[in-house]
Structure 1
Amino acid sequence: MWPGMGRDRLTRGLVLRLCLLLTALCVCVHIYLELGSRRGAPSHLILGCPTQTNQVLPDKGARIRGTKDPMEPNFVTEDRAMKRMVSYVRTLKNDSVAGKTGGGDNPSMCCPPLRPKRKALAVKRPGTEGRFESPRWHIELEPWASDNHSLEEEARRFLHYITTPQVSCAPPSPEGPLALEGQEGPKGPWAVCLDSRYSLAQRIHTKHCRVYSMGLGVEDKTLERSLARVGCEVHCFDPSLKQAHLQESDMWLHRLSVDWRDPNPAIPAQRQHGNTKKLATILNDFGHRQVDVLKVDMESAEWKILENLVLEGVLSSVGQLLLEVHLHWAGFEVDGDDPSVVRFWFSLLKELERAHFRLFRYHNDPAKPRLFLHRNFLNASSAYTLGWVNNEWRP
């Protein structure tokens, strides 16, 4: 009996040892296969997409920073494999940068960028020879007219500027086909320049001219009707119209107000003051790239609208600008003391000059009150109509 029990214990011990040996062998095989798969598989297959330097798995990020994961064995071969992985990540980054700068094929990545950036609107800046730059946020203010920043010196400089034409404009023949009813000579408030040196006369002759007229309850549309009769495409924008779009006397009338900003999408449409849009938005909506004549009679909103046209580079799409300026107060959303306001006005008109616009006429309505910023100052009128021609406009 006792010898049998000894043989049973020996058999059980051998079986137990064999099981432990097989278990150790399985663990070794598993570790070997795990290390082999990490060593052989490239990182873009492990992560599922090209890896960026800031996209690292948590345990690998700890290893790169020099700390050890307490739940993972410390194998030298695994550390070497991770070093190869980090170097592969850096190689991917360098290849992507080289592909962007090299001008070659840039295959699309399977993963989107982590922080996509909105592209800034590119605008053409006057004097940049066709190059495009980022949009501007403010105009360039001109130096003060005097060291003491006096209102009198600022007003004298400004009034002299708007009453001194920079170019002459030869009128067309009164009996010619380009004679317009709105051309009332030196006494008329609104007039275009039909000098053969500029493109408007040729554009009218070929029936390719386009006119935008912006106003608030404007009743006198003599110039617009005259331009429509000679073949121009005329669009009048007036928020006081009852219908959204109306064709009348060869002109298109739109119930739309031109503003220096687009409507806030967070404000419901019924709470906004009419339908207002920036001129750049209207041009885009209508599919128009160029405007031969832009007439602006916006009752003291012209300063901020003009500032928006300057900052967004819209003036390069305009051939002639007919503008009524109001001087009895600063205008909508024009801040500062009186000398600063006049300096802002003058700086805006100098921006027109930098955009290749030249003053060809001005009109002073004697029926208007003599008010300059709420006072009778230098016998200045409260409103002037200015005509500007873009001498480098080539449609």
Structure 2
Amino acid sequence: MGRERLTRGLLLRLGVLLTAVCVCVHVYLETRWREAPAPLGRPTQSSQNWGQQSRTKPDAEEQDRSIKRRISYVRTLKKDSQARKRDINREDPSPPCCPPLHPHRKTPRWHIDLEHWAGESHSLEDEAKRFLNYITTPQVTCASLAREEAAQEGTKGAWAACVDPKYSLTHRIQSKHCRVYSFGLGVDDRSLERSLARAGCEVHCFDPSLKQSHLQQAEMWLHRLSVDWRDPNPAIVAQRQYANTKKLATILNDFGHRQVDVLKADMESAEWKILENFILEGVLDSVGQLLLELHLHWAGFEVGGDDPSVVRYWFSLLKELEHANFRLFHVHSDPAKPHLFLHKNVFNASSAYTLSWVNTEWKP
């Protein structure tokens, strides 16, 4: 009997002790949970109340505007990206299959590509034969507008422009957008320029020997200026207050012109370096037809090397024209000129030839 009472008393005491321990543990955990910092994004009620009491109304408005800006920026980016994707989809999704044989060079070049030698011996005869055969063989047929005097006499004129309907000049004349550049030294035959001016072309004649800087004469503009393969030294320009010669790219930029339908040039042996500048700077893309008088009695200004190398250089320049889609359609040699080829009589060649090329891919 006494043992049963003792056992019940111990169990009662142990139950009370365990209950007290559970209550203490519960109170401890509740207190720590309330004092712990709220997790990100889920503030407690006490922290919300404190934040509402501590921050002022302008701060709240500024934060709201910042949130709105961020939302607007994200939405804008999404709209821009979607619009950009639509633009890309409208374009041709696949690049062209094969690159062109002679891709357009956007950047200036430092030198032309020399053609292979005409023969293993590197002789003047081989180079001259290839060169002369090249400049006396038209590559395309074209109805040409030649000198009025020669047309009236029924003979072939020296200067000729291609007016075949399959090329652009005729359409440019009809739309009154034709532009002509003519470069010469001293008194020159300007019958072709007058014919083009009467047809409706805007004609600019450049001659550094003129007394006035600019002069309008009949249907043409005359300018005291000429084309060169380099721009003048700035110190010389400042001293003279004007420049007599400039590169074609500089002249086009100064005049605000993008295209020239017909470019005629008689530069008295400077044509080789000028033509080289046209090629290296890519300005031929702005020219529809190129009319040049070539002088063969000597190498030309600043052209060096032995005779075979000079002729190879000449031939390489003309091949560069072919690579730029220019095709020879008119050839004329003056019988009154002496038959000299680099101070020699080679194949009875004339010392001067007037050649005309048309840019077959030119579509302004």
| TM-score, structure 1 normalization | 0.64
- The whole-number CA distance in structure 1 between the counterparts of 2:356 and 2:189 is 17
Q: Which residues of structure 1 form unaligned runs of 5+?
A: 1-102, 104-124, 173-178
The 3 A distance-change label for structure 1 pair 274 and 287 is closer
Which residue in 2 is equivalent to 1:236? 205
Q: Per-residue deviation at 1:207?
A: 1.2
Name the SS for the 2:285 alignment partner.
Answer: helix
**Which residues of 2 match residues 370-385 of structure 1 at below 5 A?**
370-385=339-354
Which deviates further from its counterpart, 287-296 or 184-193? 184-193
The 3 A distance-change label for structure 1 pair 126 and 202 is farther
- List structure 1 runs of 4+ shifted beyond 6 angstroms: none
Name the SS for the 2:316 alignment partner.
Answer: helix
Name the SS for the 1:154 alignment partner.
Answer: helix
Q: Per-residue deviation at 1:290?
A: 0.3
- The whole-number CA distance in structure 1 between the counterparts of 2:346 and 2:175 is 47
Pick aligned residue for 1:181 from 138, 148, 158: 148
Pick aligned residue for 2:271 from 302, 322, 332: 302
What is the CA deviation profile of residues 39-92 of structure 1, one whole-angstrom value per residue up to 9, with x for unaligned ones?
Answer: xxxxxxxxxxxxxxxxxxxxxxxxxxxxxxxxxxxxxxxxxxxxxxxxxxxxxx
Q: Per-residue deviation at 1:187?
A: 1.9
- The whole-number CA distance in structure 2 between the counterparts of 1:171 and 1:228 is 16
- The whole-number CA distance in structure 2 between the counterparts of 1:272 and 1:340 is 40
- Which amino acid in structure 2 is aligned with residue 202 of structure 1? H
Q: Per-residue deviation at 1:202?
A: 1.1
The 3 A distance-change label for structure 1 pair 356 and 183 is farther
- Which amino acid in structure 2 is aligned with residue 250 of structure 1? E
Decide which structure has the larger Cα Rg and report it: 2
Which deviates further from its counterpart, 225-234 or 259-268? 259-268
- The whole-number CA distance in structure 1 between the counterparts of 2:237 and 2:325 is 40
- Which amino acid in structure 1 is aligned with residue 127 of structure 2? E
Name the SS for the 1:187 alignment partner.
Answer: coil
Pick aligned residue for 1:369 from 326, 333, 338: 338
Pick aligned residue for 2:316 from 347, 350, 353: 347
CA RMSD of aligned residues (A): 2.2
Contact kept, 8 Å, 2:206 with 2:222, in 1: the verdict is: yes
Name the SS for the 1:164 alignment partner.
Answer: coil
Q: Does residue 133 of structure 2 align to residue 160 of structure 1? A: yes
Which residue in 1 is equivalent to 2:122? 149
How many pairs does the alignment contain? 264
- Give the fraction of aligned pairs with identical amino acids, expressed as a percent: 75
| TM-score, structure 2 normalization | 0.69
Contact kept, 8 Å, 1:180 with 1:227, in 2: the verdict is: no
Q: Per-residue deviation at 1:376?
A: 1.4
Name the SS for the 1:366 alignment partner.
Answer: coil
Which residue in 1 is equivalent to 2:16? none
Which residue in 2 is equivalent to 1:335? 304
Name the SS for the 1:325 alignment partner.
Answer: strand
Q: Per-residue deviation at 1:226?
A: 0.9
- The whole-number CA distance in structure 2 between the counterparts of 1:341 and 1:238 is 28
- Which amino acid in structure 1 is aligned with residue 126 of structure 2? E
Contact kept, 8 Å, 1:186 with 1:363, in 2: the verdict is: no
Contact kept, 8 Å, 2:296 with 2:342, in 1: the verdict is: yes
The 3 A distance-change label for structure 1 pair 254 and 141 is same
**Which residues of 2 match residues 42-57 of structure 1 at below 5 A?**
none
- The whole-number CA distance in structure 1 between the counterparts of 2:252 and 2:102 is 23
Which is richer in helix? Answer: 2
What is the CA deviation profile of residues 310-332 of structure 1, one whole-angstrom value per residue up to 9, with x for unaligned ones?
Answer: 00000011000011000000000
